[in-house]
Amino acid sequence: MKIVCLDLEGVLVPEIWINVAERTGIEELRLTTRDEPDYDKLMRGRIRILDEHNLKLSDIQSVIAQMGPMQGAKEFLEEVRSMTQLLILSDTFVQFATPLMQQLGWPTLWCNSLEVVDDRIVAHKMRIDNGKKAAIEALKGLNFSPFAAGDSYNDLAMIEAADGGCLFRAPEAILTEYPHLVLTEEYDQLLAQIKEFLKR
């Protein structure tokens, strides 16, 4: 049985941290997994910056509430879900993702959580190390044949572990380092890759 696994930010919704950076004027928050492969280092840095600027979880949630999905994302998901099972694998946090999942029609999301004290983010809690790749391997262990797509360094292990997959709007640095991975730029191109995989 086939299953499609997609990254969330940069694929279905805009990058949350870039939006927070634009809204607050804190340029250091623009750094994402498209720039920094070490997610733990990235998150520790973000939490430090939030603390320095006295930004709270509710401040970030108010930015997220105004974001919405990328144009065409909901329709794309509906089409994929009409053909096969779909799972969103993201390193985001449940405290960030809930309003976005509602706008996308409540697809299944596997992600992480934040430790919050008095509306302040004090730590990030990863469900498991390298959770996206672990999810792909677990699905294969359950006799699923997964297809994976994403745009960032933290998506590469899941794409390479899957039975099929591609990049979606990935930055030049990733394309240079991983020239063997197919790049898609639009939802119709990604859908074509998925349909081809489902025919196998």
Could you give the residue numbers annotated as active site? 7, 9
Which has the closest alpha carbon to 49: 127, 147, 120, 141? 120
Distances (CA, A) of 126 to 38, 40, 46, 113: 13, 9, 15, 7
Q: What φ, ψ does residue 11 adopt, rounded to 5°?
A: -115, -50
Percent helix / strand / coil, the chain, rounded to 5: 50, 20, 30
Collapsing DSSP to helix, strand or coil, 113 comes out as: strand
Which has the closest alpha carbon to 96: 134, 133, 132, 67? 67
Distances (CA, A) of 64 to 38, 68, 103, 166: 23, 7, 11, 27
Q: What φ, ψ does residue 86 adopt, rounded to 5°?
A: -135, 140
